[in-house]
Amino acid sequence: MLKDILPTDMKVLCNHIYEYKKGVRQMVLFTFNRKYEKYALNRLQRQNISYIIQPIGNDRINLFFGRKECLDAIRLIVTRPLNQLSPEEDFILGAMLGYDICSQCERFCERKCKSCAQAQ
- Alpha carbon distance 18, 15 (integer Å): 5
In this prediction, residue 4 carries a pLDDT of 59
In this prediction, residue 1 carries a pLDDT of 45
52-83: pLDDT as tens digits: 999 998 999 999 999 999 999 999 999 999 99
CA atoms 31, 32, 33, 34: torsion sign? negative
Mean pLDDT of the region 46-52: 97
Q: If you average pLDDT over every residue of the chain, what do you get? A: 93
- Alpha carbon distance 31, 63 (integer Å): 6
In this prediction, residue 6 carries a pLDDT of 81
In this prediction, residue 20 carries a pLDDT of 97
Q: Is 47 helix (H, G, I), strand (E, B) or coil?
A: coil
